[in-house]
């Protein structure tokens, strides 16, 4: 999942990075094919080049290795809302077939939820202000669901009309990278379509791990196997991170 996501990041692009798997993938891209990718974290670090993966979105490592550190209002208003971000790399608790994200509540009602999740963070505006968004999420029927209990941040469908006249600049969630394959949004239907399966995974397996009737692209691809250099870079990054933080923390 990390390697497949890293490959999607173009060298020189400006990436707004979420913590956890998205951060691992974005840094792997920086350490392999995309040395000039600009990583922005919502804590205000622009051009961060962390030697080890940060545990939190505001680790000192990000500040120490950044081109500049700005305030939180500045990062959201000038850099994100101002239209400087090419791609948002985000995680989620659940998504639906339109790439809508839930990180708020599961079960019950909003007022009396069965499970209360952390909430929105920066995502509602990242998904609309970045030119496009990639979501990284392990694929199961519990995480890829037919209907979300709550739409925290909108996906691809919501880009098209409606929304009371509010405009958005970006295309929204165009890509979902899971541990099983890669899904891309189909502009004709706004639905996520299975575009590639990872080596050794069948389309049937992916469908069985999806809560909706998942369509596969006609020319379904197989993700190229990780190269030796990609695997080495990822292992080194995780090893450095584990040594710095103690234990396996951050090695998601």
Report the interface residues with another protein, using CB under 8 A.
19-20, 42-45, 54-60, 62-63, 69, 71-73, 76-77, 80-81, 100, 104, 110-125, 127-129, 150-155, 158, 163-168, 245-246, 249-250
φ, ψ of residue 26 to 5 degrees: the values are -65, -40
Contact 159, 153 (CB under 8 A): no
Q: Respond yes or no: is residue 42 known to be catalytic.
A: yes
Q: Which is nearer to another protein, 53 or 197 (CB)?
A: 53
Exactly one of 42, 132, 158, 191 is catalytic; which is it? 42
Shortest Å distance, C-beta 176 to another protein: 17
Compute the distance between CA of residue 125 and CA of residue 104 in angstroms, rounded to an integer. Answer: 15
Instruction: Centre a 10 Å sphere on the Cβ of residue 216 and count the other Cβ atoms it contains.
Output: 17
In whole angstroms, how far apart are CA 219 and each of 97, 195, 203, 210, 226?
20, 8, 12, 20, 21
Q: Which is nearer to another protein, 112 or 228 (CB)?
A: 112
Q: Would strands 101-102 and 94-95 be described as parallel, antiparallel, or unpaired?
A: antiparallel
Shortest Å distance, C-beta 60 to another protein: 5
Q: Which is nearer to another protein, 64 or 204 (CB)?
A: 64
Compute the distance between CA of residue 169 and CA of residue 144 in angstroms, rounded to an integer. Answer: 26
Shortest Å distance, C-beta 185 to another protein: 14
Nearest-CA neighbor of 196 among 225, 222, 226, 224?
A: 222
Q: Which is nearer to another protein, 110 or 222 (CB)?
A: 110
Nearest-CA neighbor of 171 among 150, 189, 155, 182?
A: 155
Shortest Å distance, C-beta 98 to another protein: 9
Q: Which is nearer to another protein, 47 or 113 (CB)?
A: 113
Compute the distance between CA of residue 71 and CA of residue 156 in angstroms, rounded to an integer. Answer: 29
Shortest Å distance, C-beta 121 to another protein: 4
Catalytic residues: 42
């Amino acid at each position: 999942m990390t390697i497949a996501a890293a490959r999607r990041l173009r060298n020189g692009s400006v990436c707004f990075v979420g913590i956890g798997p998205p951060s691992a993938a974005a840094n792997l891209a920086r350490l392999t094919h995309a040395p000039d990718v600009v990583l922005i974290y919502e804590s205000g670090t622009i051009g961060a080049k962390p030697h080890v993966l940060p545990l939190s979105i505001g680790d000192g490592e990000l500040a120490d290795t950044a081109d500049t550190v700005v305030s939180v209002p500045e990062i959201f208003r000038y850099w994100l809302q101002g239209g400087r971000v090419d791609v948002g790399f985000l995680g989620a608790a659940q998504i639906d077939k339109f790439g809508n994200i839930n990180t708020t509540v599961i079960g019950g009602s909003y007022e009396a939820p069965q499970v209360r999740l952390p909430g929105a963070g920066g995502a509602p505006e990242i998904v609309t202000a970045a030119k496009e968004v990639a979501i990284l999420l392990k694929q199961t029927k519990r995480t890829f669901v037919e209907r979300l209990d709550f739409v925290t941040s909108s996906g691809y469908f919501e880009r098209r009309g409606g929304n009371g006249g509010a405009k958005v600049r970006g295309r929204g969630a165009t890509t979902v990278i899971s541990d099983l394959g890669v899904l891309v949004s189909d502009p004709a239907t706004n639905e996520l379509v299975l575009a590639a399966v990872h080596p050794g995974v069948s389309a049937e397996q992916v469908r069985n791990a999806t809560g909706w009737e998942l369509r596969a692209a006609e020319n379904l691809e197989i993700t190229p196997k990780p190269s030796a250099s990609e695997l080495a870079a990822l292992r080194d990054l995780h090893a450095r991170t584990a040594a710095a933080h103690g234990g396996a923390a951050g090695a998601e």
